[in-house]
Structure 1
Amino acid sequence: MDPAELLKDLVRIDSVNPGLVAGSAGETGIADYTSAWLECHGFEVTRLEAEPGRPSVVGVAAGSGGGNSLMFNGHLDTVTLAGYDGDPLDPRVEDGKMFGRGTFDMKAGIAAIMVAAATAAAQPHRGDIIVALVSDEEYASAGTEEVLRHFTADAAIISEPTHEDVVIAHRGFAWFDVTIHGVAAHGSRPDLGIDAIAKAGRFLTGMDQLTRKLAEGTQHPTLKAGNIHASLIRGGEEISSYPAECTISLERRTIPGETADTVEAELRAILDDIAATDAEFQYTITRGLERQPFEVSPEEPIVQALLTAAKNSTGQDLALRGEPFWTDAALMLDSGIPGLLFGVDGGGAHAATEWIELASLRRVTSVLTQTTLNYCQ
């Protein structure tokens, strides 16, 4: 089984996430293809589709019993085809690279785990080998959440592109709306109005000071410090009136040990300090989405199994590191499944040109195959 040929087939299938681009194809076509492929290679396939038109596929190669179960995870959806340089659905091969939308993020990872799982499943194995190909990772991770309501495993590998490093930690995030309240009035009546936008400026200054404090504070060994930024600001009705409200939507990227609770405490400390010196300063805080940071020990059995497989397969000692962005690995860990990220080398995620190194795809597939055989024996 050649993962490069499988990758070509996957790239040709439009699977743009409709949560990102309204009316896009979604995952139905690629779910149909991968379901048929897994069934052809002996997997028992379950199709999960809590939201019509947004399927995830789970293939299970049951073991003989008594071994560790391993769940592979990869997302079927891609970002938009618009703005791509050339035909995004034409898997062009040139100079040892394959180009096309989704090659790097992350259809190469899907091809690698499908071939690795099928190769390992064809040999004796005691533990279950599970391939979870999920919808919606690029938007809300609904696919992985649905899979985890039905399936579990002793460990997981998510084959997001990692340039052949082993990622064992990444940041989380928490979203908040902070609304500063003023009093609406005609622009000619400062005696009646309170300018919510001007008051919000003091909070923005406090956020800037928090940014510097975080950078100078506790550092995670691989993730460094968390960070905060103001993403959106909304306020006012018309130019001739004092604004009654100003809402700042912000994102706080978190490291292990930080949660929405600790972030809210940081924000309230800034806001209460302002209110203590300004009797007109009033605010409310509304929590939005929170995603937890992810971290596993380098001594976790699945980490050691992959490092050993890589050494035996390629002769290389792989680097262990963290990523600044969030992935579905955190959802899996929250469900009691420790894991890691390991995937191909390449570039251009979400960009006008996207590619992977074909030699890297074959190395990753080999390492994943050997890891599966060792872990599920």
Structure 2
Amino acid sequence: MIKLLKNLINAESTPKKGELDAAKTISDFFKKAEIDVNLDSWDQNRANILAHIKSNAKKPALLFLCHLDVVEPGQAQWKFPPFQATEQNGKIYGRGAVDMKAGTAAAAHAIVQIKKSNIPLEGDIFFLATAGEESDSCGIKRFMENHKNIPNLAVVIVPEPTDFEVVTAHGGAFWLEVTTTGKAAHGSTPHLGINAISSAKMILDELENFKSKYLTKGCSLSVNTITGGNTINIVPDSCTIGIDIRTTIDQSHNQIIDNLQQLLNKIKKQNPDFNAEIKVTRDVPALQTDNQSQAVKQFLSTVGAGEPIAVSYCTDGAFVTSLKAPVIIFGPGNPQLCHQTDEYVEIKDCEKAVEHYKNIIMKFLT
């Protein structure tokens, strides 16, 4: 288990490097256990991996849904090298240790141990690890597009870090880029140009009230990036602001676009030189699983957890609701360590996760 986790951390799977090395690491692990595995790669270094253990199919199948990619380590100084897994004081350090290579390795280990036990299964096991979960969700979208005949599922398990709390609902993510265009001019004659940064400021001023006026309770809005201008002595002719909106299950993403476009039209009417366009860069719906479903109750009983909780972050689980199976997020590690410098997971939690996932498989498939 720990060896696989270390190998996954060492297989740098940032947006620049891609997921192919990490996918090969898991593929080799499953192949050694004689488990059917399919590695789907594209664009040189992007990859999904799907492993499958067949059964007599008397019961619905289980799907473990993981992701291979990690975020960049950032500019802060790490005590431990982010892509050289380090074991110290019962912890494994490295980028992706908690988000979510620990859960991925634990699920893979549990599946291999079940396979080696030769216990007869009455339902299939699927293990899917995807590309791009941290960015554009390209991997899960590609999988859903290419796999139209997925069998009936009892439950989808997402081994993200939850500190072993059972999560059945999460927020949506709606990322927008609004680009203003103007007219370049020499810095000494700004009156001859149209300043795109000034146009962007008009939007920022209006966004102060956008959340309270248009978003449902529980949603958030944050302007997190702004880029504009090429050099200090040229009036900028372009400026882009990046908006991160987190949504609840009852907030329509299309309605957000409509309301934002109305806001831009209002500014344009008052300022004829104003021009702006909206681009959606990420669109992940919110997730809500029925806590009263039999699958959720069985899951809670199996892992010995209390009431399910909801979280603000989002997962690839939001893209598989069309499969009509309950989606449950449950895994090792402290979620507050996600994307942090010197990210780590405790070894005892990794081992505990393996046992939990084996028990879940036994509960649902035997």
- TM-score band, normalised by shorter chain: 0.7 to 0.9
Whether the aligned pair in 2 keeps the contact of 1:48 and 1:146 (CA below 8 Å) is: no
2:331 to 328, 334, 343: 343
Q: Percent identity?
A: 26
**Preserved CA contact (<8 Å) 1:76 1:107:** yes
After superposition, residues 248-263 of structure 1 pair within 5 angstroms as 248-263=241-256
Structure 2 stretches lacking a partner, 5+ long: none
Asked if residue 104 in structure 1 is aligned to residue 98 in structure 2, the reply is: yes
Residue 8, structure 1, aligned to residue 6, structure 2: no
SS at match of 2:57: coil
Once the two structures are superposed, residues 214-271 of structure 1 have per-residue CA deviations (whole angstroms, 9 ceiling, x without a partner) of 6xx643xxxxx22222233344566556555544332322221334311112212323
Cα shift readout 1:305-325 (whole Å, capped 9, x = no counterpart) = 2101012xxxxx334222222
Structure 1 counterpart of 2:39, one-letter code: R
Q: Is the 8 A contact 2:136 2:282 kept in 1?
A: no
Q: Aligned equivalents of 2:20 and 2:229: distance in 1?
A: 43
Q: CA offsets, 1:134-155, max 9 Å, x none?
A: 3343343333333332373513
Q: Does 1:38 align with 2:20?
A: no
Within 5 A, what are the aligned runs for 1:159-198? 159-182=159-182, 193-198=193-198
Q: Is the 8 A contact 1:106 1:160 kept in 2?
A: yes
**CA contact 1:168–1:298 (8 Å) conserved in 2:** yes
Q: Deviations over 1:68-99 (max 9, x none)?
A: 111112223334468432344244141x4333
2:255 partner SS: helix
Name the structure 2 match of 1:268: 261
- Amino acid in the other structure paired with 1:307: L
Read off the aligned partner of 1:318 and give its amino acid letter. G
Partner of 2:281: 288
Q: How many residue pairs are counted as aligned between the two chains?
A: 355
- TM-score, structure 1 length as denominator? 0.81
Alignment of 1:190-339 (within 5 A): 193-213=193-213, 218-219=216-217, 225-236=218-229, 243-311=236-304, 317-334=305-322, 336-339=324-327
Shift, 1:44, TM fit = 1.6
Task: Say if 2:124 is the partner of 1:128.
Answer: yes
Q: Among residues 117, 120, 127, which one is paired with 2:111 in the alignment?
A: 117
Counterpart for residue 367 of structure 1:
356
The whole-number CA distance in structure 2 between the counterparts of 1:34 and 1:286 is 35
Please tell me whether the aligned partners of residues 178 and 278 of structure 2 are also in contact (alpha carbons under 8 angstroms): yes
Task: Give distance in 2, aligned partners of 1:103 and 1:241.
Answer: 45
- Give CA deviations for 1:82-139 in whole Å, capped at 9, x if unaligned: 8432344244141x43334432122221222123223444322211111123334334
Consecutive unaligned residues of structure 1, counting only runs of 5 or more, are 1-5, 220-224, 312-316
Q: CA contact under 8 A between 1:10 and 1:107: conserved in structure 2?
A: yes
- How far did 1:175 drift? 2.9
User: Alpha-carbon deviations, 1:14-34, whole Å to 9, x = none?
Assistant: 2222524xxx4x444443342
- Separation of aligned partners in 2, 1:141 and 1:19: 12
8 Å CA contact 2:15–2:72 kept in 1: the answer is no
Say if 2:128 is the partner of 1:140: no
- Find the aligned partners of 1:351 and 1:218 in 2 and give their Cα distance: 29
Secondary structure of 1:353 counterpart: coil
